[in-house]
């Protein structure tokens, strides 16, 4: 386990904001190292330099945490994606998780970052049951303990029951445990409210709870606000965490299916991307709400994480490592273009309503209606 001058996760959260990292599976898909559809992380074995560079990009942007790229890395998921049949000896839960830990630790040690060992849903959850899912989680835990990560993080759970199972396993170590769910105001896939999800995760033993992915920051903030109120009323003292997606998604605010039902997912999401000014606003609102672990998930590029780190620089007591090439909006005042100089201030970018440049563009998408098939509990992989 790394020993840094700034302490471990819980010590850092008690002292001020902790900045998480951003998108891996989506960003690496865009860069050509992850296959869309399966969304599995074998790139840590096949293309380690690509994963290492993305870790470095987030570290330079100001991230305090290097999360292992172990999303969908259970044997259950890898087998579903076909990897165990094709290259069983090199692509499996152990090899992927070990390689991911080594990459995250190598970059974390270049700065004062922590390494988070990441758990995610097991596709066999609904059909194979508790004992099977817990067994899959234990395979990852064995690696994370052996590699001495700094804390454990469960994420992207659509059912609070599976989140509880992950917490049960994670607590069998002596490491801090955090857990987030891919839920919005409508709650989990079984209709369990955000309030009840937060309480159940806290009672299961997570020291940090919140949401990640599936919804944009401002929907996620509303969800965590409800969690916070419920936790306060229940007298449960835990830290709050938020890592939303980076695409505007008002159409799905109350849709438990999340971003995967948007017609643009996955190959036309770019017009929905948050601006850096919007990300800074999200970071400020999250901090003011009392959330102390603030990061991003799908779509959050290093520039977005830098926007969070710069917005909260005073609270953290320092600016991100990439400050040598970033002086904020003021830098445009040094442009040779007379059109850019007036834009060298924060107010301009906060008030800007970006245009899409598309004459036939539309404000909101037509989301497919819910059916019995697409609202059932997940029995297979869900796009992340």
Which pLDDT does position 6 carry in this prediction? 79
Q: What is the pLDDT of residues 44-95, one digit of tens each?
A: 999 999 999 999 999 999 999 999 999 999 999 998 766 655 556 789 999 9
pLDDT band, very low/low/confident/very high, at 328 (cuts 50, 70, 90): confident
Q: Is the peptide bond before 212 cis (omega within 30 degrees of 0)?
A: no
- Averaged pLDDT, 287-294: 98
User: Do 290 and 6 form a contact (C-beta atoms < 8 A)?
Assistant: no
What are the tens digits of pLDDT across the range 5-18? 679 999 999 999 99
Angle between helices 217-234 and 194-204 (to 10 degrees): 60
Q: Hey, is 93 helix, strand or coil? A: helix
Q: Is the pTM above the cut of 0.85?
A: yes
Express as a percent the part of the chain with pLDDT over 90: 85
pLDDT of residue 85: 56
- Distance set, CA 127 to CA 4, 124, 138, 260, 303 (Å): 43, 5, 19, 22, 40
Q: What is the pLDDT of residue 3?
A: 39
- Which stretches of the chain are DSSP H helices? 9-15, 25-31, 43-46, 48-61, 75-80, 83-86, 93-108, 125-147, 160-170, 194-204, 217-234, 276-289, 302-311, 313-316, 346-351, 372-375
Q: What is the pLDDT of residue 384?
A: 41
pLDDT at site 83: 63
H/E element, 210: strand 208-212
Compute the average pLDDT of residues 113-142: 97
What does the pLDDT read at residue 53?
98
């Amino acid at each position: 386990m790394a020993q840094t001058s700034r302490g471990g996760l819980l010590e850092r959260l008690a002292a001020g904001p902790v900045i998480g990292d951003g998108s891996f599976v989506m960003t690496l898909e865009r860069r050509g190292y992850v296959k869309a559809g399966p969304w599995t992380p074998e790139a840590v074995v096949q293309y380690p330099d690509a994963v290492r560079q993305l870790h470095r990009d987030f570290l330079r942007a100001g991230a305090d945490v290097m999360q292992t790229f172990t999303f969908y890395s259970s044997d259950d998921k890898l087998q579903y994606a076909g990897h165990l049949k094709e290259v069983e000896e090199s692509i499996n839960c152990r090899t992927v998780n070990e390689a991911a830990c080594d990459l995250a630790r190598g970059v974390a040690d270049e700065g004062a970052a922590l390494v988070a060992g990441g758990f995610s849903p097991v596709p066999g959850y609904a059909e194979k049951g508790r004992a099977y899912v817990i067994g899959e989680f234990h395979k990852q835990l064995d690696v994370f303990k052996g590699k001495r990560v700094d804390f454990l993080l469960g994420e992207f759970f659509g059912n609070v029951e599976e989140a509880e199972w992950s917490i049960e396993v994670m607590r069998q170590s002596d490491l801090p445990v955090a857990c987030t769910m891919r839920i919005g105001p409508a709650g989990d896939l079984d209709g369990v409210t955000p309030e009840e999800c937060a309480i159940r995760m806290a009672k299961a033993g997570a020291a940090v709870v919140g949401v990640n992915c599936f919804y944009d920051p401002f929907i996620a903030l509303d969800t965590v606000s409800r969690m916070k109120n419920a936790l306060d009323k229940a007298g449960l003292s835990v830290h709050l965490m938020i890592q939303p997606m980076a695409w505007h998604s008002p159409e799905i605010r109350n849709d438990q299916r999340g971003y995967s039902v948007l017609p643009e997912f996955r190959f036309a999401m770019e017009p929905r991307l948050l601006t850096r000014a919007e990300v800074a606003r999200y970071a400020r609102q999250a901090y003011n709400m009392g959330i102390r672990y603030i990061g991003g998930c799908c779509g959050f590029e290093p520039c977005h994480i830098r926007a969070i780190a710069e917005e909260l620089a005073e609270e953290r007591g320092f600016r991100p490592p990439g400050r040598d090439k970033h002086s904020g909006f003021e830098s445009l005042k040094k442009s040779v273009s007379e059109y850019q100089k007036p834009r060298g201030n924060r107010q301009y970018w906060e008030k800007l309503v970006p245009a899409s440049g598309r004459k036939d563009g539309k404000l909101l998408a037509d989301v497919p209606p819910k059916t019995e098939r697409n609202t059932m509990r997940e029995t297979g992989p869900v796009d992340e």
